[in-house]
Structure 1
Amino acid sequence: MPFLDLLTNLPASSFPEDFLKKLCSFTADVLGKPDDRMNLIVKPGLPMWIAGSCSPCVVLSISAIGVTDTADKNKEHSAELFRYLTRELSLTEDRIVLQFHKLEPHQVGKKGTVLSFL
């Protein structure tokens, strides 16, 4: 059950509904997770400063169980996600930052319990 949080200073109009669906689907493929388990929040129009500038930028945080727990895995995920985000958002790599967070099943609640018990 991956969680994606996309923070950006781009306006909301930069993210049509199909962008959200496409980003979830693409990231699901990259992480090897089912589409229907993806969760995405896009927070547009934020005041942001990356690499010495307020130019258009994105911070994407990816939290997941079992697929963001090693440098080698995250290096592969990063390469794919950077290619996708630079293409889809017309940003250069220096305007994108990714954060990977390892989750454990006991840290995710669903259906009145945590994933450890489902």
Structure 2
Amino acid sequence: MPYLKIQTNREVTDNVRQEILKKASLLVSKNLGKPEKYVMVRLDPPLPMMFAGGTGPCAYLELKSIGLPESKTESLSRILCQFLQDELKIPSDRIYIEFVDVKSSMWGWDGGTF
């Protein structure tokens, strides 16, 4: 049920894209305490993006999950920013992250809801 969407203006090769997806899936699973079999990660192709008046490397992330505690958002922000800094060389001050706690009845899966 956790869903991480990464949008960036950084070019990435297919091999790097696959590695980032794998690492991000494990990172989300571990830090939310959710089974990886429910984690979905999306890394969009490079998009035209501007942040703070410049077109340097930047990213916008959405992390949605059932039961996403507000008490974890600060540490998740630090972890995800460090991840993108390490993997894509995006400075943490050029990353926005939207955290969304979704009600289980509003998350569909396998023909039903959670």
Same fold by TM-score greater than 0.5: yes
Percent identity over the alignment is 31
1:3 is aligned to 3
Displacement after TM superposition at 1:43 (Å): 1.0
In structure 1, C-alpha distance between the alignment counterparts of 2:95 and 2:5, rounded to whole Å:
13
Are the counterparts in 2 of residues 51 and 94 from structure 1 also a CA contact under 8 Å? no
1:28-67 superposed matches below 5 A? 28-67=29-68
Most deviating of 45-54 and 8-17 = 8-17
Give structure 1 stretches of 5+ with no counterpart: none
In structure 2, C-alpha distance between the alignment counterparts of 1:12 and 1:82, rounded to whole Å:
17
Any idea what the Cα deviations from partners look like across 1:92-118, whole Å, max 9, x if unmatched?
A: 112211110111111111121111xxx
2:24 is aligned to 23
Give structure 2 stretches of 5+ with no counterpart: none
Are the counterparts in 2 of residues 57 and 95 from structure 1 also a CA contact under 8 Å? yes
Alpha carbon RMSD of aligned pairs, Å? Answer: 1.5
TM-score w.r.t. structure 1 length?
Answer: 0.87
In structure 1, C-alpha distance between the alignment counterparts of 2:98 and 2:48, rounded to whole Å:
19
Residue 83 of structure 1 pairs with residue 79 of structure 2 = no
Aligned residue pairs total 113
Runs of 4+ in structure 1 over 4 Å off: none
TM-score w.r.t. structure 2 length?
Answer: 0.89
Are the counterparts in 2 of residues 4 and 63 from structure 1 also a CA contact under 8 Å? yes
In structure 1, C-alpha distance between the alignment counterparts of 2:87 and 2:11, rounded to whole Å:
14
Any idea what the Cα deviations from partners look like across 1:3-43, whole Å, max 9, x if unmatched?
A: 11111111242743121111110121111111111111111
